[in-house]
Amino acid sequence: MLKGKIVEFVGKGDFGLASGSKPDGTYDRDWFEELLSPDEVNFEANVFLLTKAKAKALRSRSKDQPIIEDVPKPEDKQPTVPEPVSEPKAGPMSQTVTLNLRGSIPPEIWNRLGTKLIPKLRSGSELTAQVSFSVSLDGKAVASFESDLRQILADLGLTDKIRIEKS
């Protein structure tokens, strides 16, 4: 019920919703005065309900304008102590390591990949992503289903990047 209200408030422009906060005060994804799926509303540490003013500011600001927070953050109240600077240790040069993630992901957490996993992976370099989906259908529905998939891929600009195979 609360998710439904958040979807309604964001659609009407009473509030905004954002996920994946960045150090410059922006977000990986934000919604304001637009349709939002209840699946996108998650009660997690990196998903934020925004005031109308902040959501508007995010939408209208240029990249050079900082966003001014209305509420001071708790960490701003703490006295800061400079951390000691250590000299780099002599030794072998740092080498680049590539991590590959493979496995099955349950449908109930697919939306959370965009708010948790992908922002973390984007903090590295040379990120690539590949997908593999498999769905079973009634033979009579295959033609229209495949046509719908091709249209969706075309709308996303992925026609030349993802191929549909029957087995």
DSSP 61-121: --TTSPPPPSS--HHHHSPP-PPPP-PPPPSSPP--------S---GGGHHHIIIIIHHHH
Q: Is residue 115 part of a domain?
A: yes
Query: Domain for residue 92, yes or no?
Result: no
Residue-level pLDDT at 61? 66
**Residue 28 included in any domain:** yes
Residue 41 lies in a domain: yes
Q: Which residues contact 34 (CB under 8 A, 6 or more apart)?
A: 10, 11
Same-domain status, 65 and 118: no
Cα separation of 66 and 89, whole Å?
A: 37
Any domain includes 13: yes
> In this structure, are 11 and 66 located in the same domain?
yes
pLDDT along the chain (167 residues), means of 10: 89 89 83 83 85 87 45 45 49 73 78 80 83 85 88 86 86
Q: How many domains does the chain have?
A: 2
HSE, side-chain direction, 13 A CA sphere, residue 167 = 7
Residue 31 included in any domain? yes
Query: Strand pairing partners for 17?
Result: 31, 49
Query: Which of 74, 89, 120 is the last residue before a domain boundary?
Result: 74
Q: Is the pTM of this model over 0.85?
A: no
Is residue 90 in some structural domain? Answer: no
For residue 142, give its domain range: 107-155
Backbone φ and ψ of 50, nearest 5°: -105, 150
Contact in structure between 42 and 116 (CB atoms under 8 Å): no
Among 50, 74, 98, give the residue marking a domain's end.
Answer: 74
Give the E-state strand segments of 62-144 in sequence order. Answer: none
Domain stops at, among 20, 55, 74: 74
In the prediction, which pLDDT does 158 show? 84
In sequence order, which residues have a C-beta less than 8 Å from that of residue 11 and are 6 or more positions away?
Answer: 33, 34, 35, 36
Task: Write out pLDDT tens, residues 137-154.
Answer: 888 888 888 998 889 888
Residue 59 lies in a domain: yes
Residue 8 and residue 52 in one domain: yes
- Give the pLDDT confidence score for residue 51 in this predicted structure: 92
